[in-house]
Amino acid sequence: MDTNEIILNWYDSEKRNLPWREPDKNKIDVYKVWISEIMLQQTTVMAVIPYFKKFITRFPNINILAESDIEEVLTYWAGLGYYSRARNLHECSKQIIEKFNGVFPREEEILIKLPGIGDYTASAICAIAYNQHKVALDVNVKRVISRINNKHNLCNISIKKLAINILSEDRPGDFNEAIMDIGSKYCKSKFPKCSICPINKICKTFKYNKNALIEINKKKPIKEKIIKYGNCYLIKRKDDNKFLFIRRPSKGLLGGMLSFPSSLWVIDKKNIPTSKLFDDLITNDSIKGPIHHTFSHFNLILNVYNIKIIDRIDIEGEWIDLNKAKGQLPSLMKKVANLV
């Protein structure tokens, strides 16, 4: 058996049953492949599954997605993080309707020019949805291909060449997904499960360079994240108990998401920008305590203040019932809402 036969045989019997995978290859829906690949960027499969199901139920095809308001798309993305993905996804759907009559292009070089579609996603769509002879090089695939070949620290172009050499001619889509599955199930970045790995007989690192596998298990010093500080305000209107929410600017962190009003987040905790408007309303009873949140590049400590106002306040925003707003909030703001 050659390498790709071993890999595909394993895939046929052990592949993960995922809601975006279509067992009948003739029924593969490029729309679902695209949505899943965007959601899976920097997010685990387990986290994506419930979001994918809800998203596809509400936006079952590209026409419906393109016609929808971005605010609603963001609502279905709330909690998944990296919100620029949702904005790009929406913009991409509109461009596919306008420029390609709603039909996804099949050419990698055209796909790559669409919003939110990079090298990896374009290759994944071509390989998985259109069964083209392409390799989608994500971190899992890079790791598995490097280890099978016992070639470490190679650049992406070199790893891609090695992958192309063993890529199945007939089933490149399945082959890509098989390598992704092996990477996530067995060939983990640390403590790979080589003894039960389905491809250990063809893995050159396992065969000839076990020292390399011992080395990767050694602890590397964890880089400390910087801490940022900010203030956040729970502003409740007395007559109907609704809370004041703002939409964050469309560019930047949590872009376009519904949020409680907050200050800028800064590194110097003694110099958090304050607002006279809010400061005048804060009393000793206002402090609801800090909440801690982790972003990919920094940790945030947010001081939350509770403010009750009689009727109006001079700040632009929407007054919304807290329970109605909760489903639209990103994870950070859900934590703030839970202090109420």
- Reference 335, options 229, 232, 240, 235; nearest CA is 232
Q: Is residue 272 part of the contact set for ligand SF4 (CB under 6 A)?
A: no
d(CA 88, CA 35): 11
Q: Is residue 184 part of the contact set for ligand SF4 (CB under 6 A)?
A: no
Q: Is residue 194 part of the contact set for ligand SF4 (CB under 6 A)?
A: yes
Nearer to ligand SF4, 130 or 186 (CB): 186
Q: Out of 205, 259, 262, 303, which residue is the one contacting ligand SF4 (CB under 6 A)?
A: 205
d(CA 178, CA 176): 5
Query: What one-character-per-residue DSSP string does 69-84 give?
Result: -HHHHHHHHTTS--TH
The count of residues interacting with ligand SF4 (CB under 6 A) is 15
Nearest approach in angstroms of CB 136 to ligand SF4 is 18
Q: Is residue 329 part of the contact set for ligand SF4 (CB under 6 A)?
A: no
d(CA 4, CA 178): 10
Contact call for residues 96 and 66 (beta carbons, < 8 A): yes
Q: Is residue 163 part of the contact set for ligand SF4 (CB under 6 A)?
A: no
Strands (E), the chain: 226-237, 243-247, 258-259, 287-294, 298-309, 318-320
Q: Is residue 175 part of the contact set for ligand SF4 (CB under 6 A)?
A: no
Q: Counting Cβ atoms within 10 Å, is residue 26 exposed (0-12), middle (13-18) or buried (19+)?
A: exposed
Q: Out of 197, 234, 258, 307, which residue is the one contacting ligand SF4 (CB under 6 A)?
A: 197
Nearest approach in angstroms of CB 198 to ligand SF4 is 8
Nearest approach in angstroms of CB 93 to ligand SF4 is 37
Nearer to ligand SF4, 93 or 205 (CB): 205
Secondary structure of residue 43 in the 3-state scheme: coil
> Pseudo-torsion of CA 119, 122, 124, 129, nearest 10°?
-170
Among left, alpha and beta (phi > 0; psi -120 to 50; other), residue 21 is beta
Q: Counting Cβ atoms within 10 Å, is residue 112 exposed (0-12), middle (13-18) or buried (19+)?
A: middle
Name residue, tokens 């109907």: 240
Nearest approach in angstroms of CB 200 to ligand SF4 is 4
Nearest approach in angstroms of CB 224 to ligand SF4 is 30
Q: Is residue 105 part of the contact set for ligand SF4 (CB under 6 A)?
A: no
Q: Is residue 167 part of the contact set for ligand SF4 (CB under 6 A)?
A: no
Catalytic residue, chosen from 5, 14, 37, 91, is: 37
Q: Is residue 206 part of the contact set for ligand SF4 (CB under 6 A)?
A: yes
177 is catalytic: no
- Reference 261, options 323, 313, 324; nearest CA is 313
Q: Is residue 40 part of the contact set for ligand SF4 (CB under 6 A)?
A: no
Q: Is residue 148 part of the contact set for ligand SF4 (CB under 6 A)?
A: yes
Nearer to ligand SF4, 144 or 272 (CB): 144
d(CA 36, CA 52): 7
> Pseudo-torsion of CA 280, 283, 287, 288, nearest 10°?
-100
Nearest approach in angstroms of CB 195 to ligand SF4 is 8
- Reference 322, options 302, 336, 311; nearest CA is 336
Q: Is residue 144 part of the contact set for ligand SF4 (CB under 6 A)?
A: yes
Q: Out of 41, 88, 200, 263, which residue is the one contacting ligand SF4 (CB under 6 A)?
A: 200
Nearest approach in angstroms of CB 143 to ligand SF4 is 7
Q: Is residue 150 part of the contact set for ligand SF4 (CB under 6 A)?
A: no
Among 56-64, 81-89, 196-204, 248-256, which window interacts with ligand SF4 (CB under 6 A)? 196-204
Q: Which residues are catalytic?
A: 37
Contact residues for ligand SF4 (CB under 6 A)? 144, 147-148, 186-187, 192-194, 197, 199-200, 203, 205-206, 213
